[in-house]
Amino acid sequence: MTSDEPLARPTRTPDRPTGARVARWPFDEPTMLAPMEGVTHPVFRALTAERGGVGVVCTEFVRISRSPLSVRALEREVVKVPGVPLSVQVMGNDAEKMAEAAGVVAAAGADVVDINLGCPMPRVVKKGVGAAMLKDPALLYDVLSKMRAQVPGLLSAKIRAGFDDADDVVAIARVVEEAGADFIVVHPRRRADFYSGVADWRIVRTLKSELSIPVVGNGDVWYAADAVRMQEETGCDAVMIGRPALRNPWIFQQVRDLNRGVTPFRPSGADLFEHLLDVRVRYETIYRKTVGKMKELIRYVGRALDDERAFSKEALRAETLDDIMAIAERHLSPLPPEALDLDADGSLKLERSGSAALPATAA
């Protein structure tokens, strides 16, 4: 990637869209809970919001195909948590349908309408949507500018660094900006990387220096202190956090505390167990297969323990929720804060966060 790549001009240029444009980050906190399919349902969004410190919560992607829109189904996606703005993500490549869908979710109360330009899954890119749209700037411009015309509020796009390479990331981001997006989120891995290596925060820094709209950095912000560092190293306007918020449910609160100069909360094993109890109660209200969902979470939570395997192995073998919780209580409750990698600085350094200062391993 070079920052002086020529701008890929869209071949089809509809009238320049009009709509909201913001020069600065428009929310109180410079953080976002990332969209995560199968994870960021209303219950998880509420739980995250209640812990505090999160600026915006996102839905998982809503697939918009060529078939007629179900307005009701779309409106049902707009479930807000009091006091925390909601971003609703749509994914598709039919400009008319995407514009219609964007208008529906905006009218139903979404604070941000976001387009998914990063999903790497074969079932998605085969259909020419998600990350596949990074390969077609003209289509991207068409879709986004038509969405712009239907969204009176905030419009955003979430991109990866590229499909097979990161050479065109600046050109892609400029198309997003020119089509009228209010801000852009970048997960700086290529589609080809899926989740391998470590996110290349240098790309976040490059986009920040090339664009005039706010830039949100995402990827491998494993500790609260890393969110602060990402902003310092890249100049990005806000930080989006996904998997690390599954591993550490207090991460947004800790980022806010660091930004305010307050000593961040440092959870103990008993706090972590209490969190799992809370999750259990809430998940039981929405899932029939709560065991699977709880195990999904335990895979992340377990990563915060020095001796991860003893806990995770036993919990993942359990067959009932009661057994999982008993195992969690036995392993977690006695642990002092120092035995967990959940402090704002990540003193045990069990995870590897990104950096704009080091050579990337992913690109």
Ligand X SMILES: Cc1cc2nc3c(=O)[nH]c(=O)nc-3n(C[C@H](O)[C@H](O)[C@H](O)COP(=O)(O)O)c2cc1C
> Which amino acid is residue 237, in one-letter code?
D
Is position 34 an interface residue for ligand X (rule: CB under 6 A)?
A: yes
- Which residue's CB is nearer to ligand X, number 89 or number 206? 89
Residue nearest to ligand X (CB): 242
DSSP codes, 166-207: STTHHHHHHHHHHTT-SEEEEEEEEGGGTT-S--BHHHHHHH
- Which residue's CB is nearer to ligand X, number 95 or number 117? 117
Q: Rounded to the nearest whole angstrom, what is the least distance from the CB of residue 119 to ligand X in the complex?
A: 6
Q: Rounded to the nearest whole angstrom, what is the least distance from the CB of residue 45 to ligand X in the complex?
A: 13
Centroid of chain to Cα 195: 13
Is position 35 an interface residue for ligand X (rule: CB under 6 A)?
A: yes
SS (H, E, C) 337-352: HHHECCCCCCCCCCCC
Q: Which stretch binds ligand X (CB under 6 A): 17-25, 28-36, 313-321, 335-343?
A: 28-36
On the CB side of 193, CA atoms within 13 Å amount to 21
- Which residue's CB is nearer to ligand X, number 230 or number 324? 230
Q: Say how many residues touch ligand X, by CB under 6 A.
A: 22
- Which residue's CB is nearer to ligand X, number 245 or number 315? 245
Is position 293 an interface residue for ligand X (rule: CB under 6 A)?
A: no
Q: Rounded to the nearest whole angstrom, what is the least distance from the CB of residue 323 to ligand X in the complex?
A: 25
Is position 231 an interface residue for ligand X (rule: CB under 6 A)?
A: no
Is position 346 an interface residue for ligand X (rule: CB under 6 A)?
A: no
Which listed residue (119, 134, 139, 297) is catalytic?
Answer: 119
Reply yes or no on whether 119 is catalytic: yes
DSSP classification of residue 68: P
Is position 144 an interface residue for ligand X (rule: CB under 6 A)?
A: no
Q: Rounded to the nearest whole angstrom, what is the least distance from the CB of residue 147 to ligand X in the complex?
A: 15
Which residue, among 178, 188, 203, 198, has the nearest Cα to 158 in the 3D structure? 188
Give me the helices (H) in the chain, please.
42-51, 71-77, 95-107, 122-125, 137-150, 169-178, 201-210, 224-234, 243-247, 251-260, 269-284, 290-301, 308-317, 321-332
- Which residue's CB is nearer to ligand X, number 30 or number 244? 244
- Which residue's CB is nearer to ligand X, number 61 or number 311? 61
Contacts for 229-236: CB closer than 8 Å, 24+ residues apart:
229/353, 229/355, 230/201, 230/204, 230/354, 230/356, 231/30, 233/201, 233/205, 233/355, 233/356, 233/357, 234/201, 234/202, 234/204, 234/205, 234/208, 234/356, 235/205, 235/208, 235/209, 236/204, 236/205, 236/208
Q: Rounded to the nearest whole angstrom, what is the least distance from the CB of residue 221 to ligand X in the complex?
A: 6
- Which of 44, 61, 283, 311: binder of ligand X (CB under 6 A)? 61
Q: Which stretch binds ligand X (CB under 6 A): 32-40, 80-88, 100-108, 341-349?
A: 32-40
What is the Cα–Cα distance from 158 to 210, expressed in whole angstroms? 17
Is position 118 an interface residue for ligand X (rule: CB under 6 A)?
A: yes
- Which residue's CB is nearer to ligand X, number 208 or number 331? 208
Is position 120 an interface residue for ligand X (rule: CB under 6 A)?
A: no
The pair phi, psi for residue 219, each rounded to 5°, is 115, 115
Is position 45 an interface residue for ligand X (rule: CB under 6 A)?
A: no
For the segment 67-106, give every residue that binds ligand X (CB under 6 A).
89
Is position 218 an interface residue for ligand X (rule: CB under 6 A)?
A: yes
What is the Cα–Cα distance from 318 to 314, expressed in whole angstroms? 7
Residue 267, token pair as written in the block: 């959870």
Is position 180 an interface residue for ligand X (rule: CB under 6 A)?
A: no
Give me the 238-277 binding string for ligand X, x by CB under 6 A, dash otherwise: ---xxxx---------------------------------
CA angle at 339 for the pair 338 and 342, rounded to the nearest 5°: 75
Q: What are the residue numbers of the active site?
A: 119
**Interface residue list for ligand X (CB under 6 A):** 34-39, 60-61, 89, 116, 118-119, 158, 187, 218-221, 241-244
